[in-house]
Structure 1
C-alpha cells in the first residue's frame, strides 16, 4: 500500500464512479483505471463490483478501505506534526459547521486567525444537519462546530459559548408588546401559553432548536399549529418576520441578520432557554498548533473575552 493508491481507492469509493473520481484527483480516467487493475491483480481479488458506470465496494474492498482510512489518518497526523516540528506556519484546516452558523462565526474569527497564520488555508464546510456524524466518518475534517449533541466517546468537546434560544415574532405581531421584564432575563419574557394557538415555524426534531421547541411545548402543555418545518434557520427567521408565525432561533443568528425594523425577541422558559455551542474533534487526533489557536480565538470571540 502507498498513499497515492489509498487516496485513489478511497476517492473511487466516495464517488462510485471512475470519471468523477479521476476529475477530483486530477488524473486521467485511463491512469486511474490502470492503477485499480494493477492493485486488484496484486491483491488477487476485486475491490469493486461494476454495474455500468457504478463501482460498488466488494467485501475485499470494504476491508481494504477500513485499513486505508486508518493509514491515511496516521499519515495526515504525521504531516501536520512535521509542519509543527519544522516551525512552519503553513497548513490547511477543514472545519464543518452549520450553514447559518458560518455567517455568525467566520467574520469574527477568520480575520484574527488569518492575520496570525496568513499561509494556512481554511476550508469551511457548511452542513445542514448531522455534523457530529460527518466528523466521525470523514477523517479529512479537523474539527466541527455544532450545538450540543449526545456525546460520543470517540470525540473531544470544548465549549465555545452558552447561547440563548429566543422566541422571535414580527414587530407587527399582536403579541409583540406582551413581553415583561423578568429577573435573570436579558430580553422581555413572554408566557408561551399566550402562543398556544399561534402558528410556529420550526426546525425538525433532530435539530437542536427543533428539539428545544418540542420540550418547551410539552413543559407548557401546549400544542400550537406547526404549518412549516425547515432546516434553514434564516428561512425560519424571515418567515417569522413576515408574520407567518413564531419561531425559536439562537440569539447570534438574529444578530447576524439585517432587519429594519428589528424583529421582536423574547426570553422564554424559566429564566431563558440556552443551548451549548461546542467545537469537537476526534479523540487521539493530532491538532497542529494553528488548529489549537483557531479554537482559542473562536472561544474568545464567542464568549466575548
Structure 2
C-alpha cells in the first residue's frame, strides 16, 4: 500500500466522481482507476459502489475513509511541526544547564533571546556536568551549558566566559574580615560541597589538591543557594561562582590569591547530528553574545 493510493482514495471519496478526481490530481482517469483497483485488491474488499463515472462509498469504504482521514491529518500535522522546527524564528529548543547557572545567567539569556525571537519556546532541564553530556549524546536535548568537557569526537564545546570562584565563610568566621585569603587557609575547615558529577565538585577537588589538601565534606548539595544557606548557619565553608548572589545569605565572600580559582563555561552540541534552524540560530546567538574571541 502506497501513501499516494490513500491520497487518491480520499479525493475520489470527497468528489464521488473518478474523472473530476483525476483532473484535480492532475493524472489520467485510467491511472486513477487502476490505483483504486489495486488498493481494493490489497484490502480484499470493494470500497465504492460504481455508477459509470460516479461513485459512492460503500460501508467498507466509509469505514476505511475514517482511518485514512485520520492518518493523513496526523501526517500533515507532522509535516507542519517539522517545517516549524526548520524555521529559525519559531519552534522549540531543549536546553540543559548546570544548576548554578539557573539563578541568573540562563533567565537573562532567554530574556535577551526572546526579545528578538518571541515565538521561540524553550524546554529546560538542570543537571550535573556529567549527566548533561549524557543527555546530549542520547539526543534528549539540543544544546547544553556546562564547564569544560573532555575531548570527544561526538561533541563540540565552545567557551563562552570564565568566572572567578570565591570562598564563602559564615559572617562570624575568623576569616570573614579578610580582604583575600589563600585557599590552603581553609584546609582544616569543614566543607559544604557539591555532589559528585557536578562541575563545581570536580573543580573544587582539583583546586584543593593543588593547595595540598582534600576538603572535609560535611554536606554535598546541588544548588548554590542550599550550599550558601548551610555555610551561613555555620556548617562549614565553600567555594562558589562570583556571579552567584550571596546577599540573601549570612556569608562573607573572599577572593583567593594563591590559586587561580576560576571556572570556564561553554556551550556544547553534537557534531554530526541534524540541528534544526531554530537551534542553530540560538547557538550562534549565544556564541556571538558571550563567546570569547
Same fold (TM over 0.5): yes
In the alignment, structure 1 residue 232 sits paired with structure 2 residue 223: yes
User: Residues of 2 paired with 1:211 and 1:135: CA distance?
Assistant: 20
- Structure 1 residue 134 displacement after superposition: 1.1
- The counterpart of 1:83, out of the listed 83, 86, 111, is 86
In the alignment, structure 1 residue 206 sits paired with structure 2 residue 206: no
Please give the per-residue CA displacement for 1:235-293, whole angstroms capped at 9, x wherever unaligned: 111111222111111222x23x54266x3222226453111101111102343444344
User: Residues of 2 paired with 1:230 and 1:211: CA distance?
Assistant: 13
- Structure 1 residue 302 displacement after superposition: 4.8
In the alignment, structure 1 residue 135 sits paired with structure 2 residue 123: no
Gaps of 5+ in 1: 1-74, 180-188
- The counterpart of 2:275, out of the listed 280, 283, 287, is 287
- Structure 1 residue 301 displacement after superposition: 5.7
User: Residues of 1 paired with 2:291 and 2:259: CA distance?
Assistant: 19
| Alignment RMSD | 3.0
SS at match of 1:103: coil
CA 1:246–1:260: 2 relative to 1, 3 Å: closer
Q: Return structure 1 stretches of 4+ with deviation > 4 angstroms.
A: 299-305
TM-score of the superposition, structure 2-length normalised? 0.63
* Partner residue in 2 for 1:109: 109
Q: Is the 8 A contact 1:200 1:226 kept in 2?
A: yes
Radius of gyration: which is bigger? 2
CA 1:270–1:300: 2 relative to 1, 3 Å: farther
SS at match of 1:172: coil
SS at match of 1:278: strand
- Structure 1 residue 145 displacement after superposition: 0.9
User: Residues of 1 paired with 2:201 and 2:249: CA distance?
Assistant: 26
User: Residues of 2 paired with 1:82 and 1:217: CA distance?
Assistant: 45
- The counterpart of 1:259, out of the listed 242, 248, 257, is 248
TM-score of the superposition, structure 1-length normalised? 0.61
Gaps of 5+ in 2: 1-77
- Structure 1 residue 162 displacement after superposition: 0.9
